[in-house]
Amino acid sequence: MKPSPAHILIVEDDPVTRAKLAAYFKAEGYRVSEAEDGEAMRDILAADPADLLMIDIQLPGEDGLKLTRELRAQSEMGIILVTGRSDAVDRIVGLEIGADDYVTKPFEQRELRARVKNLLRRVRGGGGAGAAPKKRQFQGWVFDLASRTLSSAEGKFVDLTRAEFKALALLTAHTGQVLSRDRLLHEIAHRDWDPSDRTVDVVIRRLRKKLGDNASHPRLIVTSHGEGYLFAVPLDRT
């Protein structure tokens, strides 16, 4: 049976931008809904849950960051933030609170389409075939990919943002291997890295703090200067 088209909800207060996006993705075969603010977004989601949302950060009243935080606490639906801002702080904050990707206006529609297709493939397909998720243990820590949890040797759970979870999952899957910032950023945010982008460094710094890894002399997540980061300890055999 042919799968039903994905439902995309565009949350954008500018009617021209919203109409252009809606027309483009409808022409691509998606089912599209439109909302001008958070209240309209909630009304639509209550009646017809979406697979992916494109949310403008600069919304009147409740901004896109607030809505993203609210949505991520309730659902694993795909979220792409769309904004005219180029401030790296907004990009980092958006990813940290749960957005899957970030697009700055003016954007190229074909690039946005590619990002949407990639994100929907993960959201609807559950990440593809492969080995079942399992626990990874190191230095007393238990990192459970199935439940998306990290717990200490004392059994205390540590909250991870989506970006931190994705980074730690990639690093622990390649222990002892240097992973470039470009590869880590692509995993975290599905975009290419450039020297001015500090997203990866911020995520690594926060991971180190949560793992109790000394930032001056880290022993778990080590910096390979000019190259990237590596997970320096082997996983415990289970």
Q: 13 near 36, Cβ under 8 Å?
A: yes
Can you tell me whether residue 166 is helix, strand or coil? helix
Of the candidates 147, 164, 139, 25, the one whose C-alpha atom is nearest the C-alpha of residue 82 is 25
Q: 95 near 115, Cβ under 8 Å?
A: no
Enter the pTM of the model: 0.62
Which run of H or of E encompasses 101?
strand 101-104
Q: For residue 37, what are its two tokens? A: 């603010």
The 10s digit of each residue's pLDDT in 70-98 is 998 788 788 998 877 666 667 677 777 77
Q: Indicate whether 177 pLDDT > 50.
A: yes
Where is pLDDT greater, at 131 or 224? 224
Q: Report the Cα 119 to chain-centroid distance in Å.
A: 9
Q: 163 near 178, Cβ under 8 Å?
A: no
pLDDT of residue 36: 96
pLDDT of residue 67: 94
Q: 164 near 202, Cβ under 8 Å?
A: no
Q: What is the Cβ-side half-sphere exposure of residue 125, based on CA atoms within 13 angstroms?
A: 10
> Which pLDDT band holds residue 193 (cuts at 50, 70, 90)?
low
